[in-house]
A and B are shown apart, each in its own frame.
Chain A
């Protein structure tokens, strides 16, 4: 009797492991369909250079998706990541670029510029984290206001112009390649892998799931819930700042509009990828499939002959469709 139960349990466990992966990979069939569709729409789709384009396009987005997913897992969210994504590289660029290319004229070393990018992320993240967690501001309205403020600063400083002519060190991350693949793609992939492993195998990673799943239980278990949640806000904002740097490097300039409307795609990728808005549920593997899907959609729409004015509508429709598919297959989630 006991042995049969044991065996049954084993099989049950194996089944559950399989199911867990199945849930994470819900989107794979959709991605395959999209790729077939892409090949039909335009033969250019399956060329190496185009696929690298897709990956590069997804790299910056992917980094912000990791950032937002970390916050979502702990049961909060941060809309101002898109503001940080724009403001951090702008501030760095502004202080290092000469007046002739719309800089401030201080012409600091590009290394200081990089430091400033990280610092902006750290400061914004700390500010958000402390005020949302400790002072108990509503995360939605507070980070929305922050987002508007950051984007506004970006526009105000630049007056609608673009900072260009950035030094090589500053654009390295977004423009250089290692072994034929853009550095940004390597970095984002690495961040995904590290985040996935951290969430699965580190005590703080597991504590984040506990916090998002049942805050009171986490507190009662002795988890330092406030420090961890503030820390997550900080890490996320730094990641968003680095993502902004990637984007700036890719286009070798910082525009006044960098980052605007980014956050919608970020939430969409995370949610399509199975990260719960209620916290405590979701994995980086899933979020990654969400990013790939969104990057593919953007690419295919560009390759197709759809008029650019219609791209947003089609984009929205496809995201709705993907949400539907994810929901349909994911209904057994408990």
Chain B
């Protein structure tokens, strides 16, 4: 697979990191099948693929956290050390993971020299002055601007990443894996990261650059490899691979159940009055910031907000619902301003919410189906000063939602924890619909849900829309989008593209979501 000659500086040398026809199976799942990939010193090698394509598995093999079932890993031309020898792995292959591997209470210098000798290789003692000087020297050598005496807990996301890169470089490793390094960075920080990558490349480091943003691959990488369903489907010079080909390689042939076009909403009617108005929302969040987004939502329409992890799409939902306080901007429901950061106030104004993580925020597992569904309407099932629950009213409301969503449960008393994932999710949606909201905010409603439940869930939300509810659907599952009347794509905290007329073109949508400029402007 490495037949292409590349622009890498040191191809006459053995690759700094190399997988030779590796395969890996987890239980029933074939995570990787016969994948070969080489990263040379002085090149930046892009690795792309949709979620579940096998990128993460390949990283665990290349960093010695897993052993391939077949095939082998070579680092710097030598066979990889045994898995038990963490020290040897760290010296030859380093990875900057998506989740931070920085220790907050320690100083930057300590984080750079974590678990490494600073006073000669034998000594178990720490020489603080030497450690600070050496860490400072590493920062200077690579042009990183982080004070090494600072406590790592006070660093920004970008600075933490710099610390991790410095740690990897100071160990002496010349093979560095960056796993979606820009996911949590702002635009300016991304530019600075690119500068760092270029500097490392010039310094003879081989970088394996994993990203969902194809745009970045074109900006920074020399070569690119594409994984799909655990197999390597393309390796080539970035300059010779067109965007269309890259997207095609990632998506593959038509998915089994649907053609390239996502099925459109069947009935469409003119949207009614404005129910939700979000203006210039700015939110800072580790899960993806929002940099000034305005949306309006009318009765009877369903707006799909589409974006990758970290694009800010789910942060939008959190901010509207009041789970995060925005830095700037306003949210109006039915014309009335919502006090920022107050969930109860938002829900009281008639906003229904289906949270992203149903286990954390969706339901009380030990309570019954009926109780869970009516949690949002306690004032209706327990009226009056006394606040006693009327079980007849509760059962009436719960029964209505159970029928609407076709929830399969023995009784209304059955604990939600004993239901299947699909039925649990239906309970969560039922809970939101029970209060008959005028605005419904739904985040990834069909994650981990079987096909039949998925249909039932989407139909129920579609029905609510037809009855005049305004629905905001945040999702990265394209099949969810069939109930939408309008789509907005978010990239890096901003709306990058709008689609106003269903059906949606899958290829075009993927290109937009991955942050590619419209076809034709490049390559």
Residues of A near any B CB (own CB < 8 A)? 9, 12-13, 16, 200-207, 209-210, 212-214, 216-218, 220-223, 276, 280-281, 334
Cβ distance A207 to chain B, nearest Cβ, rounded Å: 6
Contact A220/B125 with A9-B149, A213-B106, A334-B151 known, Cβ cut-off 8 Å = no
The answer, among A200, A203, A207, A213, for a CB contact under 8 Å with B105, is A213
Q: Known A-B contacts: A214-B100, A217-B101. Give 10 more (CB < 8 A).
A: A13-B149, A16-B149, A202-B126, A203-B124, A203-B125, A210-B106, A217-B102, A218-B115, A222-B90, A222-B115
3 nearest CB pairs, A to B = A222-B86, A213-B103, A217-B101
B172 at the interface (CB under 8 A from A): no
B463 at the interface (CB under 8 A from A): no
Cβ–Cβ contact B149 & A209, under 8 A: no
Taken together as a complex, chains A and B put the C-alpha atoms of A200 and B128 apart, in Å, by: 9
What residues of chain A lie closer than 8 Å to B117, measured between beta carbons?
203
Q: Which of A205, A217, A281 has the most CB of B within 10 A?
A: A217
Of all chain B residues, the one with the shortest Cβ separation from A216 is: B101
Taken together as a complex, chains A and B put the C-alpha atoms of A207 and B153 apart, in Å, by: 17
B104 at the interface (CB under 8 A from A): yes
Of all chain B residues, the one with the shortest Cβ separation from A276 is: B105
B78 at the interface (CB under 8 A from A): no
The answer, among B87, B115, B151, B154, for a CB contact under 8 Å with A207, is B115
What residues of chain B lie closer than 8 Å to A334, measured between beta carbons?
104, 151, 153-154
- Against A, the Cβ 8 Å flags (1 = close, 0 = not) of B122-159 are 00111010000000000000000001011101100000
Taken together as a complex, chains A and B put the C-alpha atoms of A205 and B124 apart, in Å, by: 10
8 A-B pairs whose Cβ atoms sit less than 8 Å apart in the complex: A12-B147, A16-B149, A202-B124, A209-B106, A213-B105, A214-B101, A216-B101, A221-B101
B179 at the interface (CB under 8 A from A): no
Chain B interface, number of residues (Cβ within 8 angstroms): 27
Cβ–Cβ contact B115 & A221, under 8 A: yes
B114 at the interface (CB under 8 A from A): yes
How many contacts between A and B, using CB within 8 angstroms?
Answer: 82
Cβ–Cβ contact B149 & A12, under 8 A: yes
Cβ–Cβ contact B114 & A210, under 8 A: yes
| B70-111 contacts to A (CB < 8 Å) | 86-87, 89-90, 97, 99-106, 110
Contact residues of B: prevailing secondary structure: loop
Of all chain A residues, the one with the shortest Cβ separation from B145 is: A5
What residues of chain A lie closer than 8 Å to B97, measured between beta carbons?
220
What residues of chain B lie closer than 8 Å to A209, measured between beta carbons?
103, 105-106, 110
Taken together as a complex, chains A and B put the C-alpha atoms of A207 and B101 apart, in Å, by: 14
What residues of chain B lie closer than 8 Å to A220, measured between beta carbons?
97, 101
What residues of chain B lie closer than 8 Å to A12, measured between beta carbons?
147, 149-150
Contact A201/B151 with A217-B101, A222-B86 known, Cβ cut-off 8 Å = no
Cβ distance A35 to chain B, nearest Cβ, rounded Å: 31
Of all chain A residues, the one with the shortest Cβ separation from B90 is: A222
What residues of chain A lie closer than 8 Å to B125, measured between beta carbons?
201-203
Q: Which of B90, B101, B103 has the most CB of A within 10 A?
A: B103
Cβ–Cβ contact A16 & B150, under 8 A: yes
Taken together as a complex, chains A and B put the C-alpha atoms of A183 and B86 apart, in Å, by: 44
The answer, among A13, A201, A212, A214, for a CB contact under 8 Å with B126, is A201
Cβ–Cβ contact A214 & B115, under 8 A: no
What residues of chain B lie closer than 8 Å to A205, measured between beta carbons?
126
What residues of chain B lie closer than 8 Å to A214, measured between beta carbons?
100-104
Taken together as a complex, chains A and B put the C-alpha atoms of A334 and B107 apart, in Å, by: 12
What residues of chain A lie closer than 8 Å to B149, measured between beta carbons?
9, 12-13, 16
Taken together as a complex, chains A and B put the C-alpha atoms of A12 and B108 apart, in Å, by: 14
Cβ–Cβ contact A200 & B115, under 8 A: no
Taken together as a complex, chains A and B put the C-alpha atoms of A276 and B86 apart, in Å, by: 29
Taken together as a complex, chains A and B put the C-alpha atoms of A207 and B125 apart, in Å, by: 12
Q: Which of A9, A210, A214 has the most CB of B within 10 A?
A: A214
Of all chain A residues, the one with the shortest Cβ separation from B167 is: A221
Cβ distance A269 to chain B, nearest Cβ, rounded Å: 20
Contact A218/B114 with A12-B149, A280-B103, A280-B105 known, Cβ cut-off 8 Å = yes
Cβ distance B319 to chain A, nearest Cβ, rounded Å: 24
| B254-294 contacts to A (CB < 8 Å) | none
Cβ–Cβ contact B115 & A223, under 8 A: yes
Cβ–Cβ contact B126 & A210, under 8 A: no
The answer, among A13, A16, A217, A222, for a CB contact under 8 Å with B103, is A217
Of all chain B residues, the one with the shortest Cβ separation from A9 is: B147
Cβ–Cβ contact B150 & A204, under 8 A: no
Contact A203/B104 with A12-B149, A16-B149, A334-B154 known, Cβ cut-off 8 Å = no
Taken together as a complex, chains A and B put the C-alpha atoms of A220 and B153 apart, in Å, by: 18
The answer, among B89, B102, B126, B147, for a CB contact under 8 Å with A206, is B126
What residues of chain B lie closer than 8 Å to A218, measured between beta carbons?
103, 114-115
Of all chain A residues, the one with the shortest Cβ separation from B124 is: A203
